[in-house]
Amino acid sequence: MKKTLLAVVLILVAYAGFRWGPAVFPDIERALGIDAAAPTVPEAQPTPELAEQTLDRFEQFRAGEIGDRFMLGGTELSAVVRHSLPGMIPRGVAEPTIVLHRGQVHVSARVAVDAFPNLPRLDNIIGLLPDTILIEIRGSLVPLDQGHMALLVDRVRAAKIPLPARLVAEVLGAFGWSRPASLPDDALEVPLPDGLRSVFVQRDSLVMLADVPPAPGDGREGTR
Protein backbone atom coordinates (compact mmCIF):
# COMPACT_ATOMS: atom_id res chain seq x y z
CA MET A 1 0.00 0.00 0.00
CA LYS A 2 2.80 2.44 0.90
CA LYS A 3 4.65 1.67 -2.33
CA THR A 4 1.49 2.26 -4.36
CA LEU A 5 0.88 5.58 -2.60
CA LEU A 6 4.48 6.69 -3.22
CA ALA A 7 4.19 5.81 -6.90
CA VAL A 8 1.00 7.87 -7.22
CA VAL A 9 2.68 10.86 -5.54
CA LEU A 10 5.68 10.66 -7.88
CA ILE A 11 3.40 10.45 -10.93
CA LEU A 12 1.43 13.51 -9.75
CA VAL A 13 4.64 15.45 -9.13
CA ALA A 14 5.96 14.57 -12.57
CA TYR A 15 2.71 15.59 -14.22
CA ALA A 16 2.60 18.87 -12.26
CA GLY A 17 6.11 19.68 -13.43
CA PHE A 18 5.18 18.94 -17.03
CA ARG A 19 1.86 20.85 -16.86
CA TRP A 20 2.71 23.89 -14.76
CA GLY A 21 6.51 23.84 -14.49
CA PRO A 22 8.29 26.35 -12.22
CA ALA A 23 5.03 27.69 -10.81
CA VAL A 24 4.44 24.41 -8.95
CA PHE A 25 7.85 22.87 -8.26
CA PRO A 26 9.11 25.41 -5.66
CA ASP A 27 5.99 24.83 -3.51
CA ILE A 28 6.35 21.06 -3.82
CA GLU A 29 10.04 21.23 -2.94
CA ARG A 30 9.31 23.33 0.14
CA ALA A 31 6.56 20.88 1.18
CA LEU A 32 8.97 17.95 0.84
CA GLY A 33 11.76 19.81 2.62
CA ILE A 34 13.94 20.12 -0.47
CA ASP A 35 15.96 23.32 -0.83
CA ALA A 36 15.94 24.75 -4.32
CA ALA A 37 19.39 25.07 -5.81
CA ALA A 38 20.77 28.61 -5.91
CA PRO A 39 20.86 30.05 -9.42
CA THR A 40 24.32 29.92 -10.95
CA VAL A 41 25.87 33.19 -12.09
CA PRO A 42 27.98 32.81 -15.23
CA GLU A 43 31.60 33.83 -14.72
CA ALA A 44 32.95 36.75 -16.71
CA GLN A 45 35.16 35.86 -19.65
CA PRO A 46 38.31 37.74 -20.78
CA THR A 47 36.65 39.13 -23.89
CA PRO A 48 37.68 42.14 -26.02
CA GLU A 49 34.62 43.96 -24.67
CA LEU A 50 35.78 43.43 -21.08
CA ALA A 51 39.27 44.65 -22.02
CA GLU A 52 37.81 47.85 -23.48
CA GLN A 53 35.59 48.43 -20.45
CA THR A 54 38.52 47.86 -18.10
CA LEU A 55 40.75 50.34 -19.92
CA ASP A 56 37.95 52.92 -19.96
CA ARG A 57 37.59 52.58 -16.18
CA PHE A 58 41.36 52.79 -15.74
CA GLU A 59 41.51 56.05 -17.70
CA GLN A 60 38.73 57.44 -15.50
CA PHE A 61 40.76 56.40 -12.47
CA ARG A 62 43.90 58.12 -13.78
CA ALA A 63 41.84 61.24 -14.48
CA GLY A 64 40.71 61.28 -10.85
CA GLU A 65 37.05 60.68 -11.73
CA ILE A 66 36.49 57.52 -9.66
CA GLY A 67 38.66 57.99 -6.59
CA ASP A 68 42.34 57.31 -5.88
CA ARG A 69 42.07 53.52 -5.46
CA PHE A 70 41.46 51.11 -8.33
CA MET A 71 41.11 47.33 -8.14
CA LEU A 72 41.16 44.71 -10.88
CA GLY A 73 40.58 40.99 -10.82
CA GLY A 74 42.36 38.30 -12.78
CA THR A 75 39.72 38.06 -15.50
CA GLU A 76 39.97 41.78 -16.24
CA LEU A 77 43.77 41.61 -16.33
CA SER A 78 43.63 38.57 -18.61
CA ALA A 79 41.30 40.41 -20.99
CA VAL A 80 43.61 43.44 -21.19
CA VAL A 81 46.74 41.32 -21.74
CA ARG A 82 45.06 39.23 -24.44
CA HIS A 83 43.30 41.95 -26.39
CA SER A 84 44.70 45.41 -25.58
CA LEU A 85 48.48 45.09 -25.31
CA PRO A 86 49.76 44.29 -28.81
CA GLY A 87 53.40 43.30 -28.88
CA MET A 88 53.59 42.41 -25.19
CA ILE A 89 52.79 38.73 -25.77
CA PRO A 90 55.45 36.94 -27.83
CA ARG A 91 54.51 35.00 -30.92
CA GLY A 92 53.79 31.40 -30.00
CA VAL A 93 52.08 32.24 -26.71
CA ALA A 94 48.31 31.77 -26.66
CA GLU A 95 45.52 32.30 -24.15
CA PRO A 96 47.52 34.05 -21.41
CA THR A 97 45.56 33.88 -18.19
CA ILE A 98 46.15 35.72 -14.92
CA VAL A 99 44.76 34.54 -11.59
CA LEU A 100 45.32 36.39 -8.32
CA HIS A 101 45.06 34.22 -5.22
CA ARG A 102 46.09 34.89 -1.62
CA GLY A 103 48.36 37.74 -2.63
CA GLN A 104 50.19 35.78 -5.32
CA VAL A 105 50.12 36.06 -9.09
CA HIS A 106 49.48 32.98 -11.22
CA VAL A 107 50.18 33.33 -14.94
CA SER A 108 49.51 30.55 -17.43
CA ALA A 109 49.57 30.25 -21.22
CA ARG A 110 49.79 27.69 -23.97
CA VAL A 111 53.23 27.84 -25.56
CA ALA A 112 54.20 26.54 -29.00
CA VAL A 113 57.44 24.66 -28.40
CA ASP A 114 58.86 25.32 -31.89
CA ALA A 115 58.49 29.10 -31.42
CA PHE A 116 61.00 29.10 -28.54
CA PRO A 117 64.15 27.20 -29.52
CA ASN A 118 65.91 28.44 -26.36
CA LEU A 119 63.55 26.62 -24.03
CA PRO A 120 65.54 24.16 -21.93
CA ARG A 121 65.11 20.49 -22.77
CA LEU A 122 61.97 19.47 -20.92
CA ASP A 123 61.46 16.06 -22.48
CA ASN A 124 63.71 14.51 -19.84
CA ILE A 125 61.29 15.79 -17.19
CA ILE A 126 57.83 15.53 -18.69
CA GLY A 127 58.43 12.94 -21.42
CA LEU A 128 57.45 13.30 -25.06
CA LEU A 129 56.62 16.96 -25.72
CA PRO A 130 53.50 17.88 -27.68
CA ASP A 131 53.55 20.78 -30.15
CA THR A 132 51.99 23.06 -27.52
CA ILE A 133 52.43 22.83 -23.76
CA LEU A 134 50.81 24.61 -20.85
CA ILE A 135 53.30 26.77 -18.93
CA GLU A 136 52.25 27.99 -15.48
CA ILE A 137 54.16 30.57 -13.46
CA ARG A 138 53.55 31.57 -9.86
CA GLY A 139 55.18 34.49 -8.11
CA SER A 140 54.92 37.60 -5.98
CA LEU A 141 54.79 41.19 -7.21
CA VAL A 142 57.42 43.47 -5.66
CA PRO A 143 58.73 46.99 -6.47
CA LEU A 144 61.69 47.15 -8.85
CA ASP A 145 62.20 50.82 -9.75
CA GLN A 146 60.12 53.94 -10.30
CA GLY A 147 58.49 52.66 -13.45
CA HIS A 148 58.51 48.89 -13.00
CA MET A 149 57.51 46.05 -10.72
CA ALA A 150 59.11 42.61 -10.64
CA LEU A 151 57.27 39.32 -10.56
CA LEU A 152 59.53 37.13 -8.42
CA VAL A 153 58.85 33.61 -9.62
CA ASP A 154 58.90 30.78 -7.11
CA ARG A 155 57.36 28.05 -9.25
CA VAL A 156 57.16 27.08 -12.91
CA ARG A 157 55.17 24.11 -14.16
CA ALA A 158 55.17 22.62 -17.65
CA ALA A 159 52.26 20.37 -18.57
CA LYS A 160 51.29 20.39 -14.86
CA ILE A 161 54.73 19.08 -13.80
CA PRO A 162 56.86 21.30 -11.51
CA LEU A 163 60.26 22.17 -12.97
CA PRO A 164 63.46 22.16 -10.90
CA ALA A 165 64.48 25.55 -9.51
CA ARG A 166 67.64 25.50 -11.67
CA LEU A 167 65.48 25.66 -14.82
CA VAL A 168 63.29 28.62 -13.78
CA ALA A 169 65.70 31.30 -15.05
CA GLU A 170 66.23 29.41 -18.33
CA VAL A 171 62.50 29.12 -18.98
CA LEU A 172 61.91 32.81 -18.25
CA GLY A 173 64.84 33.86 -20.40
CA ALA A 174 63.64 31.76 -23.33
CA PHE A 175 60.67 34.04 -23.93
CA GLY A 176 62.92 36.94 -24.93
CA TRP A 177 61.48 39.68 -22.72
CA SER A 178 63.76 42.62 -21.96
CA ARG A 179 65.68 42.09 -18.75
CA PRO A 180 67.36 45.10 -17.11
CA ALA A 181 70.48 44.48 -15.07
CA SER A 182 68.62 45.11 -11.81
CA LEU A 183 66.15 42.28 -12.51
CA PRO A 184 66.90 38.95 -10.79
CA ASP A 185 67.23 35.91 -13.04
CA ASP A 186 64.10 34.34 -11.54
CA ALA A 187 61.87 37.37 -12.15
CA LEU A 188 59.85 39.05 -14.89
CA GLU A 189 59.71 42.80 -15.43
CA VAL A 190 56.23 44.37 -15.19
CA PRO A 191 55.95 47.95 -16.53
CA LEU A 192 53.81 50.43 -14.59
CA PRO A 193 51.62 53.14 -16.12
CA ASP A 194 52.34 56.73 -15.18
CA GLY A 195 50.51 58.39 -12.32
CA LEU A 196 50.56 55.52 -9.82
CA ARG A 197 51.91 55.79 -6.30
CA SER A 198 51.72 52.12 -5.40
CA VAL A 199 50.66 48.76 -6.86
CA PHE A 200 50.21 45.54 -4.90
CA VAL A 201 48.20 42.33 -4.81
CA GLN A 202 45.65 42.01 -2.05
CA ARG A 203 43.99 38.60 -1.81
CA ASP A 204 42.44 38.13 -5.28
CA SER A 205 42.76 41.70 -6.60
CA LEU A 206 45.42 43.98 -8.05
CA VAL A 207 45.23 47.26 -6.15
CA MET A 208 46.49 50.53 -7.65
CA LEU A 209 46.81 53.77 -5.72
CA ALA A 210 46.91 57.03 -7.63
CA ASP A 211 49.76 59.46 -7.17
CA VAL A 212 47.47 62.27 -6.00
CA PRO A 213 49.22 65.67 -5.74
CA PRO A 214 48.99 67.29 -2.31
CA ALA A 215 46.15 69.70 -1.85
CA PRO A 216 47.05 73.32 -1.03
CA GLY A 217 47.48 73.83 2.69
CA ASP A 218 47.70 70.18 3.69
CA GLY A 219 51.24 70.54 5.01
CA ARG A 220 52.96 68.52 2.26
CA GLU A 221 53.97 71.45 0.08
CA GLY A 222 56.98 72.33 2.18
CA THR A 223 57.85 75.60 3.80
CA ARG A 224 58.26 78.78 1.84
Q: 165-209 pLDDT, tens per residue? A: 999 999 998 888 778 888 999 999 988 888 898 999 999 999 999
Q: What confidence tier does 120 reach under pLDDT thresholds 50, 70, 90? A: confident
43 within a domain of the structure (yes/no): no
Instruction: Flag whether 16 is in a domain.
Output: yes
- Could you tell me if 58 and 210 are in contact, meaning their C-beta atoms sit under 8 angstroms apart? no
Position 208 scores a pLDDT of 96
142 and 84 in one domain?
A: yes
The answer to whether residue 85 sits within a structural domain is yes
User: Do 7 and 67 share a domain, yes or no?
Assistant: no
Tell me what pLDDT residue 137 has: 97
pLDDT of residue 17 exceeding 80, the answer is no
Is 40 within the bounds of a domain?
no
What percent of the chain clears pLDDT 70, i.e. is strictly above it? 75
Examine the domain organization and report whether 127 and 152 are in the same domain. yes
Secondary structure (3-state) at 71: strand
- Mean pLDDT, range 11-40, rounded to an integer: 46
In a domain, 39, yes or no: no
Q: Would the pLDDT of 14 be above 50?
A: no
Q: CA nearest 67: which of 164, 221, 207, 166?
A: 207
The model's pTM is 0.73
Pair (67, 120) in one structural domain: yes
Q: Which helix (H) or strand (E) holds 42?
A: none
Domain annotation covers residue 131: yes
Within a domain: 11: yes
The type of residue at 138 is R
61 and 26 in a common domain: no
Query: How many domains, in total, are found in the chain?
Result: 2
Q: Are residues 91 and 192 in the same domain?
A: yes
The alpha-carbon radius of gyration of the chain (Å, integer) is 26
| In a shared domain, residues 27 and 52 | no
Q: Are 221 and 184 in contact (CB under 8 A)?
A: no
Structural domain including 19 reads 2-31
Q: Could you tell me if 142 and 183 lie in one domain? A: yes
pLDDT of residue 12: 45
Q: Which pLDDT score is estimated for 217?
A: 53
Q: Write the pLDDT tens digit of every residue in 48-79.
A: 999 999 999 999 999 999 999 999 999 999 99
Predicted confidence at residue 36, as pLDDT, reads 46
Nearest partner of 82 among 48, 57, 132, 110, judged by Cα: 48
